[in-house]
Amino acid sequence: MTTDTLTLTRPDDWHIHLRDGEGLRAIVADTARQFGRAIVMPNLKPPVTTVKQALEYRLRIMQALAAQSDQSSVVQKFNPLMTLYLTDKTTPDEIDRASESEHVVAVKLYPAGATTNSDAGVTDLLGQCARTLERMQRNGLPLLMHGEVTDPSVDVFDREAIFIDQVMKPLRQAFPSLKVVFEHLTTKEGVDYVRDADGPVAATITAQHLLYNRNAIFQGGLRPHWYCLPILKRELHRQALLDAATSDSDRFFLGTDSAPHAKHLKEHSCGCAGCYTAVHGMQLYATAFDRAGRLDRLEAFASQRGPDFYGLPRNRDTITLVRTPYQIPNELSYGSEHLVPLAAGESLPWSIAPQG
């Protein structure tokens, strides 16, 4: 029997880029229409490194929501959960302030040079940040990791697997009860590590890494809108990620990593990394779970395991997905710029039912 309607506890997005300024105003409602909460990444220019900056940024998000033409209660009830950008200089006192704030829920590691706006990131995690990590472990504040090594001599497709041995294992040996999220997991090696490791470890998985392998970047020509970091991998990795997301392990949950970049900066001689998936996040995930024959696991992945890991209550309202084709827009406006969503112009088999 095929399911045509699926009502779930409202999902949350445990990894999102909302940007700032006019870009923020243009996109925040896309996330707020689908997700009850989202973990907002701190890689702004300049990065969000203090609790004071995180709370000011949160206020700008709330103001951007209040100014939306969409005044529905779903959009207006959206709760952004904030993060701090870890640097070599982050102090244990800042960690205490974060732990005391109800709005700051985690600290984000960007290895310096690994991805968009990571220049201010950490150069030597255990060498520079040990006291800060110690305090995070004591306070139960999770570390979210962009898990790729930055050594330019390492093949771009191997950077996640090598990160496990070079960074993840030494970190977790030094701080075995530190809560860690391996963000936007992309490899079988990553899946095996997260599934089997001792202690409080979890991972987010994007929709693009469940739906596509690296052929998508090159299909019929170079397709910049399929380029994100970590980069799409070969089919065996996509299969491992899909198996993990649809398994009964409580360690894998939803994080879109929706990462808007203006169209002209994606379609460029040196195009930016990031796929825009906030406008059709749940339609994409439902398509992936449906193709795997595991729609029954979508609610655990999207709405239950994330809050359980973070020690937050699950949402109390619901969202309904219907098997009705959803036409992905060709282009969206992004302040004074334009934005091309992932798989623009294509159709997905699942839509979201109208909500109040």
Ligand X SMILES: NC(=O)N[C@@H](CC(=O)O)C(=O)O
Residues serving a catalytic function are: 257
- Residue 217 · residue 227 · CB < 8 Å: yes
CB nearer to ligand X: give 148 or 299: 148
CB of 201 or CB of 321, closer to Zn ion: 201
Q: Does the annotation flag 45 for ligand binding?
A: no
Question: Which one of 13, 30, 94, 257 is in contact with Zn ion (CB under 5 A)?
Answer: 257
> Residue 231 binds which one of ligand X, Zn ion, none, with CB within 5 to 8 A depending on kind?
none
Backbone angles phi and psi of 89, in degrees to 5 = -105, 0
> Residue 119 carries which DSSP code?
T
Is residue 146 part of the contact set for Zn ion (CB under 5 A)? yes
Per the CB < 8 A criterion, the answer to whether 298 and 34 are in contact is no
Consult the annotation and say whether 229 binds a ligand.
Answer: yes
For residue 162, which amino acid is it?
A: I
Instruction: Say how many residues touch ligand X, by CB under 6 A.
Output: 11
Residue recorded with tokens 């409080």: 200
SS3 328: coil
Say whether residue 273 binds ligand X (CB under 6 A): yes
What are the residues whose beta carbons fall under 8 Å from the beta carbon of 98, sequence distance 6 or more? 51, 54, 84, 104, 107, 141
Residue 135 lies near ligand X (rule: CB under 6 A):
no
Closer to ligand X by CB, 168 or 228: give it.
228
Binding-site member from 39, 228, 245, 278 for ligand X (CB under 6 A): 228
Q: Is 106 in the site for ligand X (CB under 6 A)?
A: no
Report the distance separating Cα 196 and Cα 203, nearest Å. Answer: 12
- Residue 149 or 229 having the CB closest to ligand X: 229
Chain residues 81-120 in contact with Zn ion, contact rule CB under 5 A: 115
Q: Does residue 225 touch ligand X according to CB under 6 A?
A: no
Question: Please, are residues 257 and 183 in contact by the beta-carbon 8 Å criterion?
Answer: yes
Binds ligand X (CB under 6 A): choice among 12, 94, 257, 299: 257
Distance of closest approach, residue 259 Cβ to ligand X, in angstroms: 3
> In the range 14-53, which residues lie near ligand X by CB under 6 A?
17, 43
Q: Should residue 208 be labelled a site residue for ligand X when binding is judged by CB under 6 A? A: no
CA–CA separation, 240 and 244 (whole Å): 6
- Residue 320 makes CB contacts below 8 A (sequence gap 6+) with 5, 6, 7, 8, 352, 353, 355
- Within 41-135, strands assigned E span 79-85, 104-109
Options 144, 259, 288, 340; binder of ligand X; rule CB under 6 A = 259
> Cα 262 to the chain's mean position, in Å?
19
Residue 281 or 326 having the CB closest to ligand X: 281
- How far is Cα of residue 105 from the mean position of the Cα atoms in its chain? 14
Residue 148 touches Zn ion, criterion: CB under 5 A: no
Contact, 59 vs 82, CB < 8 A? no
Part in contact with Zn ion (CB under 5 A); list of ranges 21-29, 190-198, 254-262, 279-287: 254-262
Q: How far apart are CA 284 and CA 174, in angstroms?
A: 38
* Token pair for 18: 């909302």
Annotated binding site: 15, 17-19, 43, 108, 146, 184, 229, 257, 261, 273
Annotated binding site for Zn(2+): 15, 17, 108, 146, 184, 257
Name the site residues for Zn ion (rule: CB under 5 A): 115, 146, 257
Annotated binding site for substrate: 17-19, 43, 146, 229, 261, 273
